[in-house]
Every structure is written in C-alpha cells, then in structure tokens.
Structure 1
Amino acid sequence: MRVLTVSGIFLVPEVASPDNEVSYGLTPTACLLASCDEVRSNLSPFLSLLLDSTFTAPFFGMHSWFLDEHSTSMFKKAHGLNFWEMAEQDDTYNQLINDVMVSDSNFLMDIILREYAGVFLCINSLIDVAGGHGGSARAIAKAFPQMKCTVLDLPHVVEEAPTSDHVSFISGDMFKYIPPADALFLKWVFHDWGDEDCVKILKNCKEAIPPREAGGKVIIVDMVVGSGPNMRM
C-alpha cells in the first residue's frame, strides 16, 4: 500500500495513530476506484479489464510486433482477432468490456448532462450508436423523459443487455446501417477506428438524421489529439 501512496491512490495521514501504526486514507483518485459518497459510480471495472490476461498478453510480444512491418495491431498479432472480434468470441472478455462501458457511462454522463444539457434539447428521438448495455442512453432518458432513446449495437452485445422500460435495443452494425432518429450519440467510438472506417460511420450517420435545418444532430464524445485540458465542447 505504501507504494500506492506514491502514485496518489492512498495517502498517509500526517497525524500518527495513538499506537504509532501506519494507517492509510483514500485520495480523490482512490474514490474513483471504490464506493465513496463523493462518487456515484466507480471505475474499478477498468482495472479488471486492464489487468486481464487477454488485454496484457499482447504487450509481451511488443518486440516482435515492432519488427514486423506488415503487422496490424499488437492485439491482433497476439490473438489473431482485433479487440472487438475477441469480444464476440469470448463471453468473459465481452462482459469485461460491457462492465467498463457501463461504469464509464455512469461516471461521465453525470458530467455531460450537467455541463452540456443544452445539446439534448428539442430532440424527440436519439440513438446511442455502439451504446453497449445502454448506460449512456439510460442517463439521457432519465434526464429527458420525453425523448425516445434507443441503443444500436452488435447482436452479441444486445443479447446480454439488461431490460429497460425507458430504453430500447436494436441489433445491428453501424458500418452497414444506422436507423433514423433526430439525433445520434457516439461516445468513445471513433478513436477505435481508422480514418476510412470513421468516414463510413459518419456517412451512415448523415443518412440517418434529418437535415441540419430540421434539427438533425450527431453528438460525438471522444478524445481530440492536441486539445489540451482546457478545451470545451
């Protein structure tokens, strides 16, 4: 535990205990990984995924991956499948990913709906593209109960999704077809794909929404290279 005080996970109180034994306390970072009053949802599923052998194994082959000029990703070189293909084949790994997505949505959507609620105004229908088990869609539906919220994801994801009175689920492939809606929501989607694949997704998005003057929207939550910590939506 003392090692983790260096990385800011735990802290050692300045006031020693009566028996001079070392005690540890939680930092704000630790509260993201545990059940704390300050944080509604913890992000511990991320650790479960990052420490899973399926995820870590590719890094042990990094040397050969660097030397292979024809290789794709480290993950595919190690497993013969890409990240998402592995999830389709391995139920345990698929569950890890879905748990991560739900925990991320529970944490992040609180911030998005507090800071950028105006983005969702005047929308009657919304599809969460590649929305997993519907963590984001449920948060949006709760904040805007008049909105019809639907999740689009692959069949093996939708099959395991929990039932919901406020969110419906559709099995499908965003590379082939996205059902029509007033707005599309894509959280942590584009950074997983190359430029050509992203263009395919965006073209399908354009086909699915009304024209801009009619209120059509594509709402994207993702990382922007070089944006810096102060960039806002």
Structure 2
Amino acid sequence: MENVNGTSHILDELNTQDLLHGNVQILHHFMSSLKSQALRCACGLGIPAALHRLGGSATLAGLLDETGLHPSKLPYLRRLMRALTVSGIFATAKHKQQSPAATEGNSSDSETVYTLTPASRLLVGDGPSSTMSALLNPRPETGFAMFFKLEEWFRDDGGAGTLFKMAHGVTSPWDLAKVDADYNRGLNKACVADTSFVMDIILRGRGGDVFRGLTSLVDVGGGYGSAAVAIARAFPDVKCTVMDLQQVISEAPDDGVVQFVAGDMFEFVPPAQATFFKNVLDCWNHEDCVKILQQCKKAIPTRDAGGKVIIINVVVGHGPDNIAVKETQVFYDMYMMSISGIEREEHEWRKIFLEAGFSDYRITPILGYQSIIEVFP
C-alpha cells in the first residue's frame, strides 16, 4: 500500500520487529518530556518528603493522607507513582494487607507500597541537592520551555542571538538575574545547592586528594563561596580566596572562612598555588577559555612548586559506562548551547589547555556525569 508521502518502500525494507521497535523508540523519545513534568509534580506535592516522614515507604492511601490530596485524586496518584516507579525514581514492594481506604484504586495496586530510592532520597527536604531547587523553580519556563523554540532558533540567521535570548529577551541567565530578583534568588539557590552537593562528594572521597598539599587556592567565578568554604574547612592549611564580579561578591555571606575579591577573570586572577573552576568554563567559548586560563597561568607557580588549575566540569565520553550518564552529558551540552556554552570532549579540552600554554593534564572521572580535571603548567 502506497503511503501518502510515497514512503511505503522505506517501510517495506524493514521487518515487523524493526518497525515496532522504531515506533516505540520514537514514541518513547516524544513522551520523555513527561518524565520531567511528572518528577516536578511529585516534588511540588511533597511526595518524596512524605515518604521520608512515613519511614521511607507508604501505600497510596498513606501518601494521599500525608500530602493532603483530595480522595478523588487517588487513581491519578496511582498513575503518577507508577510512571515514576518505572522511571526508577521510586521503587515498590507488596503490602500484605489491603487498606480499605484504597478501594477506589485497582485492587492489586492498592496493596503496593512505594519506597524511596537513592535518587528520590536526594529530593527529600532541604538536603544539599540542586535537583530539588531546579524542580521547584517557580519559573520553569526559564529553564526548559525555551526549547520549544529550538527549531525556530536553528532556522534563524543568527540575528536572534542565543536561544535563551530568543525566549527571554536577554542573552543569558545572569543577564536575566540582574533584572529579575525572583529568578536571581532561584538561580543562586540552585548554584549553592549544587556546589554543596558536589563538594561533599569530592571531599568525602579520593577526589579531595587534588587539594591535599596546597597552601593557597583561588576559586575563580566562585559566586557565594560555597566551594571555597568547603575546601577551607576540610583543609585548614589552604588559604582560600573567592573571586567574582562586584555585584556577586557584594551579596556573598562573609563568615571569615575565605577571602572575597572582586575582579574580572579576563583581566586578572589573584596569585595562588592553584586556581579552581566549578562549572564556569563550560559557559564560555574556546577563545574565551584560552584567555581565562592564560590569566591563571600567570597567577600560579610552576608544576614543581605545586602549581595547577583544578576544573570541575563535564568531559563528554568520560564517566560510568551507562546510558543515564551518556545522555545527561549530551543533553547538558544542549542546555548549555542555549546560552552559547558548551560541554567538551577530551580533545576539545586538550586544545584549550595547550593554546593557553599548559603542558599536561589529568582527568579523574569520579563525579558521575562530571569529572575533575587537573591542568599543569
């Protein structure tokens, strides 16, 4: 049978299983945007926190009561939890006794007990995870809804600027933060939460070895100083300085643990044995990264004297060999594309390091989808 677009010959070349697999794969990708919305909904309803308060597990009826939802929502809650369980956010076990309050749902599902997983435990309360901050951002349109304009942006001749600008009228999140106080607070909260989480992981494991033996360090673009404070407390002998723009430094909480310095990293980096970047260089293009690292090279001593640059960022292709890590890296890169940023493969990092005058580097992929990069003069 001829297809209206004349494509029947393409379908004829595929066997039944290929057709079915291809159809499922396309539909799966198309529907995957519902994963993030379901997860955001569950966090907004407080379901992970409710499970935690109930001892880590609960039936649908228990969740309904704990979250204060109307009983009429029980069958829909079952469907939400089922979707997030299949996606690995929650897990299930069977309850021996059926709860009378759950009779509105499916009889077998009413006996299901939902439990927290390592992933959903990160969504409980005020723990140090940026995931909660991102999911509960009251302005989700500033994050991912702009990607509904992705095709339009690709067809643009370049005059619209970044995808972020096409959607919001300003080039980057930092520009929006200057004029939108609510967005600024949400952005800073997410950055602090993510930094606290990542630094806790680094400093509790062998990643902390990259700071061992240092006497001084400058956290370049360090924001409110969360990373530098964590390093200083873990290694009291390391004098830590945070450098960022004046409008950032002026709002940073100063508890005396680290020193704050206002400045432009394109023009000057304070002298130290090491410079540190966490999720900074992926915001800049190749040429800008070279300029920034050239300033760092001027600021640090030779390798024999312990000089180095420490970078926390994605190295595409490095990390655990599983689909979640691989997809997170490349989708994070697409997100950074919206502000003209980029997540780089190793050969792209290497080219930057060599052009900036450095001689060697070492990648330690121990941070899930991110890595620790040490760059030596």
For the criterion TM > 0.5, the same-fold answer is yes
* Alignment match, 1:15: 95
Distance 1:201 1:228 in 2: 26
Q: Of residues 142, 145, 149 in structure 1, which corresponds to 2:233? A: 142
What count of residue pairs does the alignment treat as equivalent? Answer: 230
Deviations 1:132-154 (A, max 9, x none): 11111111011011211111112
Contact preservation (8 Å) 1:148, 1:167: yes
Deviations 1:164-221 (A, max 9, x none): 2211211222122211111111011111111111111111111111122222111111
Unaligned runs of 5+ in 2: 1-79, 103-109, 322-363, 366-371, 373-377
| Pair 1:49–1:224, CA change in 2 (3 A) | farther
* Alignment match, 1:153: 244
Contact preservation (8 Å) 2:162, 2:171: no
Unaligned runs of 5+ in 1: none
Aligned residue runs from structure 1 range 97-176, under 5 A = 97-113=187-203, 114-176=205-267
* Alignment match, 1:63: 151
Indicate yes or no: 2:148 matched with 1:76: no
Query: Is 138-147 or 46-55 further displaced after alignment?
Result: 46-55
> Structure 1 or 2: larger helix share?
2
Q: Of residues 117, 122, 143 in structure 2, which corresponds to 1:27? A: 117
* Alignment match, 1:193: 284
Q: Which amino acid aligns with 2:114?
A: Y
Distance 1:16 1:156 in 2: 58
Deviations 1:43-96 (A, max 9, x none): 311223495332244223223212103143210222232232222332222222
* Alignment match, 2:309: 218
Q: Which amino acid aligns with 1:14?
A: K
Distance 2:97 2:128 in 1: 31
Percentage of matched positions with identical amino acids: 45
TM-score, normalised relative to structure 1:
0.88
State the 1:128 CA deviation: 0.8
Contact preservation (8 Å) 2:161, 2:171: no
| Pair 1:13–1:50, CA change in 2 (3 A) | farther
State the 1:7 CA deviation: 2.1
Query: Is 11-20 or 107-116 further displaced after alignment?
Result: 11-20
**Secondary structure of 1:133's match?**
coil
Contact preservation (8 Å) 1:35, 1:41: no
* Alignment match, 1:204: 295
Distance 1:17 1:168 in 2: 59
Distance 2:179 2:287 in 1: 25
Distance 2:207 2:289 in 1: 24
Contact preservation (8 Å) 2:219, 2:277: yes
Contact preservation (8 Å) 1:152, 1:170: yes
Distance 1:186 1:82 in 2: 19
* Alignment match, 2:129: 42
Distance 1:159 1:173 in 2: 14
**Secondary structure of 1:177's match?**
coil
Larger radius of gyration: 2
TM-score, normalised relative to structure 2:
0.56
Query: Is 13-22 or 193-202 further displaced after alignment?
Result: 13-22
